[in-house]
């Protein structure tokens, strides 16, 4: 039976260091946006958590688990006293059984637009055992994100072992070429984000493998994740000849149009916590 624990700001979690959840990062998580008292894309996040739990831990989350978890989130929201924050769910299977932790965290990105830098020295392994799953083995992502910020970028644009454009440390990437929106293929080893899935369903977007040299033909770029939604990218640096790819102003109108579409969908797929 799933046990649920709420961790409020200032509270601490105790866990036996011999547990694999602590010593091996054997946990999965979801980051959800709460905006104006509405929990965005709950059903999609829960479905992904459920799929990950079954695949990685052979544990089946039930309909009753979902109902109880949502009730706990609503209670946590009212206890938190804020209308806007990042909600985190972490599922760990401990010796005493599965536990779902409910807590909040700070935003990694607060920019209104961003700058990326190509990063090919630490390629993403598209054949990793946990490729496509959001696990607590997140040290590499956070370490690289902090490095990118330290040198003046919003995030790195990472490649995989085949030198294909993959994703950023904490988001998926989309590119604009004329009137076409293109995103990197799931075969690259990227983590298929919730916002990525929403946009692929709502818009005519082409999925394909993209090489670094293909980027020079792009007119625009934006990154996505469940917290930033859609973040316009103004430039990409880090090319071998030290050139910087700056995007045209015309691409921003396409991005704003996409943001409006996402906002409508997010509203329709949100849960009112009040």
> Do 3-105 and 114-265 fold alike per CATH?
no
The string of pLDDT tens digits covering residues 182-223 is: 999 999 999 999 999 999 999 999 999 999 999 999 999 999
The arithmetic mean of pLDDT across residues 229-258, rounded, is 92
Whether residue 142 is predicted with pLDDT greater than 90 in this model: the reply is yes
Return contacts of 187-190, CB within 8 angstroms, 24+ apart: 187/126, 188/124, 188/126, 188/160, 188/162, 188/164, 189/124, 189/125, 189/126, 189/127, 189/128, 189/131, 189/132, 189/160, 190/124, 190/132, 190/166
In angstroms, how far is CA 38 from the centroid of its own chain?
A: 18
The predicted model gives 11-28 an average pLDDT of 92
Domain ranges of the chain: 3-105, 114-265
Q: Residues 107-124: pLDDT tens digits?
A: 877 778 999 999 999 999
> What integer pLDDT is reported at residue 242 of this predicted model?
84
Residues contacting residue 264 through CB under 8 Å, at least 6 positions apart? none
What order do you get walking across the sheet with 38-40 strand by strand? 3-6, 97-105, 85-94, 27-35, 38-40, 270-272
In CATH, what number does 3-105 get? Answer: 3.30.470.10
Residue-wise pLDDT tens digits, 33-53: 999 999 999 999 999 999 999
Fold classification of 114-265 is: D-amino Acid Aminotransferase; Chain A, domain 2 (3.20.10)
Has residue 224 got a pLDDT over 90? yes
Separation CA 101–CA 99 (nearest Å): 6
pLDDT in tens, 148-157: 999 999 999 9
DSSP 3-state assignment of 232? strand
Residue spans of alpha helices (H) in the chain: 20-23, 42-57, 63-80, 139-150, 194-202, 250-268
Nearest to 173 by CA among 142, 150, 204, 196: 196
Q: What is the pTM of this model?
A: 0.95
Could you give the dihedral angle defined by the CA atoms of residues 178, 180, 181 and 183, in that order, rounded to the nearest 10 degrees?
Answer: -100
């Amino acid at each position: 039976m799933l046990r649920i624990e709420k961790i409020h700001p200032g509270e601490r979690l105790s866990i036996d260091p011999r547990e694999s959840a602590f010593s091996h990062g054997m946990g999965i998580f979801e980051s959800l946006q709460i905006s104006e008292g509405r929990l965005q894309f709950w059903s999609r996040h829960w479905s992904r958590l459920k799929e990950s739990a079954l695949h990685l831990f052979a544990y089946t989350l039930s309909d009753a688990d979902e109902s109880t978890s949502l009730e706990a989130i609503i209670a946590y929201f009212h206890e938190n006293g804020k209308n806007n924050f990042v909600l985190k769910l972490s599922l760990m299977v401990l010796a005493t059984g599965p536990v779902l932790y409910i807590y909040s965290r700070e935003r990694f990105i607060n920019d209104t637009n961003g700058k990326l830098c190509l990063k090919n020295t630490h390629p993403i392994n598209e054949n990793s055992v946990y490729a496509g799953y959001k696990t607590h083995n997140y040290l590499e992502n956070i370490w690289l994100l902090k490095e990118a910020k330290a040198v003046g970028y919003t995030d790195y644009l990472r490649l995989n072992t085949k030198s294909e454009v993959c994703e950023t440390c904490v988001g998926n990437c989309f590119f604009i070429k004329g009137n076409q929106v293109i995103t990197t293929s799931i075969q690259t080893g990227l983590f298929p984000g919730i916002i990525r899935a929403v946009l692929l369903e709502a818009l005519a977007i082409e999925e394909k493998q993209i090489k670094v040299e293909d980027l020079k033909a792009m007119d625009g770029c934006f990154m996505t994740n469940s917290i930033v939604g859609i973040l316009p990218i103004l430039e990409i640096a880090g090319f071998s000849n030290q050139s910087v790819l700056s995007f045209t102003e015309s691409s921003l109108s396409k991005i704003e149009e996409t943001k409006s579409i996402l906002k409508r969908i997010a509203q329709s797929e949100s849960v009112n916590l009040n």
